[in-house]
A and B are shown apart, each in its own frame.
Chain A
């Protein structure tokens, strides 16, 4: 029987499935709006029942995405403040060192491999990319949803600028997901064909030792301490 650790709890798994579904829905309804003059975009819009419905779905999904992001961030802050979670996702100096070490390894300049904790620099990059991207699309999306309100406080030019930024930021996010996330979760030789950990929450002992040795060591140390504590009592 393979030994495994539960790396993602139920809340985190539900968050992932939610953000994945909403991201897909927003991409399918948003992309043809950005490239509306292309033939394929027209086909997609007709297929989805016309631009009015596409916009309605996009806005509804956008509001849900906003709620999800808000919930995620407030929960994360809450957990950190109450000491139930550590700042394992915050980039540190070590991440830059790890990135350079990894690049040197890839380039064959050294055989030294970086060892990672709970999240490696690539995962942190993707997480903060998603959070920052979400903040940009939510803010610009809100401008597009409430242009009259925005124009009360800001110059009108903010509205077309928000439109351009919204589409471009979303396009970049989609490309990052297609290129980077699909590679890391599916196509990379390390996980091919499918890294199921984000859905089951479970990661095998072998993978933990290989990919997150520092976290694995910490988990073992914690377990030993607990056993020792039980023994002492």
Chain B
């Protein structure tokens, strides 16, 4: 309660417009009069060299160019020459200025506090990414222009995942066809409140991530993909199990197959691809990952995301039709006999 109150206060007092520099604050040109010197640098106690050169043209082209002055972020560097700073490494410098962004971008800063990156940071991992690690500092530009830039941004640290993703059906469309419909990292993992498989409930809720796009009629129509994938999954035993666990907070002890268990995660391929694990020829091996020793016939227990029809699953369809007729007939008949009996009792009186 107290928390949200403080939050509301903070939000109310945080202005979206950049804070006004005081009259004494130097403007960009003043700063650049020294910092446009390419050789300007400082050797830190760690032995690293920190370049102090700023390309004025790059800053001008950035989203902040013409909107912010240097001291809006470097708010403690108003006096010239600047007082000496206690930073031992380049990273310490970055960490120290990390919170400069939140003065304007408070909502997104706040979201980052829920991210796996913040968990790492709170643990004391100084390599955990901060705003500037993804967005850049003096050269901040729209992160999704083009969209593939997002995935390449994550690849700076997550190169292994990026390599796999680039070969997936989504990654190929993104990089080779410049397709902007496919998910990039942030569509599944979110951007500021980045989550990952170790987050509680992440795995169990992962089908919802897939469903975001795969139940979208308009989007799937473009690619000739069925939007029944979610409903048919939920009708199957695996989907039922996942669904009935949805009130639980953690994934612990939930043993069932989700989208990712058969289709893969970063390495999802087209189902028509010969290498696809869900290709009929390969499906039995996928079943055997959990059902050790599953016989050949076993994989046909899964109706491959098809609704049961005469053509696709005649036996299942027949059972459905049989009970759709029998149950109303049976119950209707019994109710009728009860009503007749009651009527006769009343008439006899």
Q: Is B334's CB under 8 angstroms from A176's CB?
A: yes
- Hey, what's the 0/1 contact readout for B331-342 against A, CB within 8 Å counting as 1? 100110110111
Using a Cβ–Cβ cut-off of 8 Å, how many residues does chain A contribute to the interface with B?
Answer: 40
The CA of A58 and the CA of B219, in the complex, are separated in Å by: 42
The CA of A102 and the CA of B320, in the complex, are separated in Å by: 33
Q: Is B330's CB under 8 angstroms from A172's CB?
A: yes
Instruction: Given A172-B323, A172-B326, verify A33-B340 contact (CB < 8 Å).
Output: no
Question: Which residue in A50, A176, A189 is a CB contact (below 8 Å) of B331?
Answer: A176
Question: Which residue in B294, B296, B334, B347 is a CB contact (below 8 Å) of A180?
Answer: B334
Q: B83 within 8 Å of A by Cβ?
A: no
Chain B: CB-nearest residue to A179: B334
CB distance from B252 to the nearest CB of A (A): 11
Q: Is A152's CB under 8 angstroms from B244's CB?
A: no
Q: Is A151's CB under 8 angstroms from B301's CB?
A: yes
The CA of A152 and the CA of B296, in the complex, are separated in Å by: 8
The CA of A103 and the CA of B294, in the complex, are separated in Å by: 54
Instruction: Given A165-B319, A172-B323, A189-B342, verify A151-B347 contact (CB < 8 Å).
Output: no
Interface residues on B, range: 35 or more
The CA of A158 and the CA of B313, in the complex, are separated in Å by: 10
Q: Which residues of A contact B293 (CB under 8 A)?
A: 148
Query: Which of B38-46, B140-148, B234-242 touches A?
Result: B234-242
User: Which B289-329 residues have C-beta < 8 A from chain A?
Assistant: 291, 293-303, 308, 313, 315-316, 318-320, 323, 326-327
Q: B181 within 8 Å of A by Cβ?
A: no
The CA of A107 and the CA of B336, in the complex, are separated in Å by: 11
Chain B: CB-nearest residue to A37: B243
Question: Which residue in B236, B244, B308, B337 is a CB contact (below 8 Å) of A51?
Answer: B244
Instruction: Given A103-B340, A158-B315, A160-B308, verify A169-B298 contact (CB < 8 Å).
Output: no
The CA of A45 and the CA of B240, in the complex, are separated in Å by: 13
Chain B: CB-nearest residue to A152: B295
Q: Which residues of A contact B330 (CB under 8 A)?
A: 172, 175-176
Q: Which residues of A contact B297 (CB under 8 A)?
A: 151-152, 154-156
Q: Which residues of A contact B344 (CB under 8 A)?
A: 105-106, 108
Q: Is B334's CB under 8 angstroms from A106's CB?
A: no
Q: Is the interface of A mostly helix, strand, loop or mixed?
A: helix
Question: Which residue in B237, B298, B308, B334 is a CB contact (below 8 Å) of A156?
Answer: B298
The CA of A189 and the CA of B344, in the complex, are separated in Å by: 11
Q: A52 within 8 Å of B by Cβ?
A: yes
Q: B247 within 8 Å of A by Cβ?
A: yes
Instruction: Given A108-B347, A156-B297, A172-B330, verify A164-B338 contact (CB < 8 Å).
Output: no
- Hey, what's the 0/1 contact readout for A1-45 against B, CB within 8 Å counting as 1? 000000000000000000000000000000001001100001001
Q: Which residues of B contact A61 (CB under 8 A)?
A: none
Q: Which residues of B contact A106 (CB under 8 A)?
A: 337, 340-341, 343-344
Q: Is B244's CB under 8 angstroms from A148's CB?
A: no
Q: Which residues of B contact A208 (CB under 8 A)?
A: none
- Hey, what's the 0/1 contact readout for B219-255 against A, CB within 8 Å counting as 1? 0000000000000001011001101110110000100
Q: Which residues of B contact A46 (CB under 8 A)?
A: 247
Q: Which residues of A contact B237 (CB under 8 A)?
A: 163
User: Which A172-217 residues have C-beta < 8 A from chain B?
Assistant: 172, 175-176, 179-180, 183, 188-189
User: Which A92-113 residues have C-beta < 8 A from chain B?
Assistant: 103, 105-108
Q: B1 within 8 Å of A by Cβ?
A: no
Q: B345 within 8 Å of A by Cβ?
A: yes
CB distance from A138 to the nearest CB of B (A): 16
Q: A229 within 8 Å of B by Cβ?
A: no
The CA of A37 and the CA of B240, in the complex, are separated in Å by: 8
Q: A171 within 8 Å of B by Cβ?
A: yes
The CA of A58 and the CA of B323, in the complex, are separated in Å by: 22
Chain A: CB-nearest residue to B331: A175
Q: Which residues of A contact B298 (CB under 8 A)?
A: 147-148, 151, 156, 159
The CA of A179 and the CA of B323, in the complex, are separated in Å by: 17
Residue of B301, B330, B343 ringed by the most chain A CB atoms within 10 A: B301
Chain B: CB-nearest residue to A178: B331
Q: Which residues of B contact A108 (CB under 8 A)?
A: 344, 347
Question: Which residue in B244, B301, B323 is a CB contact (below 8 Å) of A157?
Answer: B301
Instruction: Given A152-B295, A157-B316, A160-B301, verify A179-B338 contact (CB < 8 Å).
Output: yes
Q: Is B244's CB under 8 angstroms from A183's CB?
A: no
Q: Is A172's CB under 8 angstroms from B301's CB?
A: no
Instruction: Given A157-B315, A157-B316, verify A42-B295 contact (CB < 8 Å).
Output: no
Chain B: CB-nearest residue to A153: B297
Residue of A33, A160, A171 ringed by the most chain B CB atoms within 10 A: A160
Q: Which residues of A contact B337 (CB under 8 A)?
A: 103, 106
Q: Is B319's CB under 8 angstroms from A180's CB?
A: no
Given contacts A151-B295, A163-B237, A172-B331, 15 further A-B contacts (CB under 8 A): A33-B240, A36-B244, A45-B247, A50-B245, A52-B253, A106-B340, A106-B341, A148-B291, A151-B301, A156-B299, A157-B313, A160-B236, A161-B318, A168-B323, A188-B338
The 8 closest A-B pairs by CB, nearest first: A156-B300, A159-B301, A168-B323, A106-B340, A151-B298, A51-B244, A156-B301, A151-B297
Can you list 7 A-B contacts (CB < 8 A)?
A37-B234, A147-B301, A151-B301, A156-B297, A156-B300, A156-B301, A189-B342
